[in-house]
Amino acid sequence: MASQAVIRTKQTQKMVNGVFTEVVCSEFSNYIFVVLTQYGKIGTLVSITPDSRSGDISLPLYTTKVLLGKDEPLTHVCAKNVATFVSQESGNQPVLLGLALKDSTMDSIRVMKEMIKSCQVW
Amino acid sequence: MASQAVIRTKQTQKMVNGVFTEVVCSEFSNYIFVVLTQYGKIGTLVSITPDSRSGDISLPLYTTKVLLGKDEPLTHVCAKNVATFVSQESGNQPVLLGLALKDSTMDSIRVMKEMIKSCQVW
């Protein structure tokens, strides 16, 4: 057996509230890469990094940064909503998130988060 | 059959000049995403965009931009070397490249480009 771990990638797709939705997740050693797209695009690319300065581990803080695409306040909110649980479940790994949504209503986001969970690579 | 195309992802790994090397390629509608890593990391993230202002189509120009990681001159050279052919072969699609190399000698890069070719998703 090779001692090196191979990058794990999982993906899924389904209709969410009538919109074709795709998820791709890959585990790199320094980032969990997640794409959530309803356009087939990689979309707005956002890094979500746990804030190591946070003193209270029960309330971790996250820094979001738009690397590619429009930097809008709603993007940061949506990115945190979608990806914070990935970071938490993976032992506070940073997340690199590609986000291209037609429908970002709460109900749809909830279903999409379940899709991401089903692609767990962390 | 659903009319929507599913995001295609291919990956491969092998020893290149004694170093474990991994490639992951995914085709999004607005970017070809390529990771070439010898650390398991996503590494330095670089966008490589064909320059539409280029008048001479036989000599396309590329703009490279470091989105994540150290912005060093060598990174831009290496990114262009590795990813230009992907953009050319895919009809001038922009490329999003994750690069984490221990060995960036010309001979090794040549082998790695063959690895990327073997993961053709474009």
Chain A: give the shortest CA distance to residue B41, in Å. Answer: 5
ipTM of the complex: 0.89
Residues forming a β-bridge with A20? A15
Closest-CA residue of chain B to A30: B41
Q: Work out the pLDDT band at A1, boundaries 50, 70, 90.
A: very low
Instruction: Report residue A59's pLDDT band, with 50, 70 and 90 as the boundaries.
Output: low
Give residue-wise pLDDT tens across range A4-31: 668 999 999 999 999 999 999 999 999 9
- Taking only the tens place, the pLDDT of each residue in A97-107 is 999 999 999 99
What are the strands of the beta sheet with A62-68, ordered from one edge? A8-16, A19-27, A32-37, A95-100, A44-50, A62-68
Residues in chain A: 122
Structure tokens at A110: 């909830």
CATH topology of domain A8-118: Ribosomal Protein S5; domain 2 (3.30.230)
pTM: 0.91
Q: Where does residue B91 rank: exposed (0-12), middle (13-18), buried (19+ CB within 10 A)?
A: exposed
Q: What is the pLDDT of residues B24-54, one digit of tens each?
A: 999 999 999 999 999 999 999 999 999 876 5
Interface of B with A (CB under 8 A): 2, 4-7, 9, 11, 13, 20, 22, 24, 26, 28-31, 33, 35, 37, 39-42, 45, 47, 67-68, 96, 98
Asked if the Cβ–Cβ distance from A30 to B24 is below 8 Å, we say: no
| Residue from the list A2, A39, A96 with its beta carbon closest to the beta carbon of B42 | A96
Cβ proximity of B75 and B67 under 8 Å:
no
- Residues in chain A closer than 8 A to B67 (CB atoms): 45, 67-68
pLDDT at A58: 61
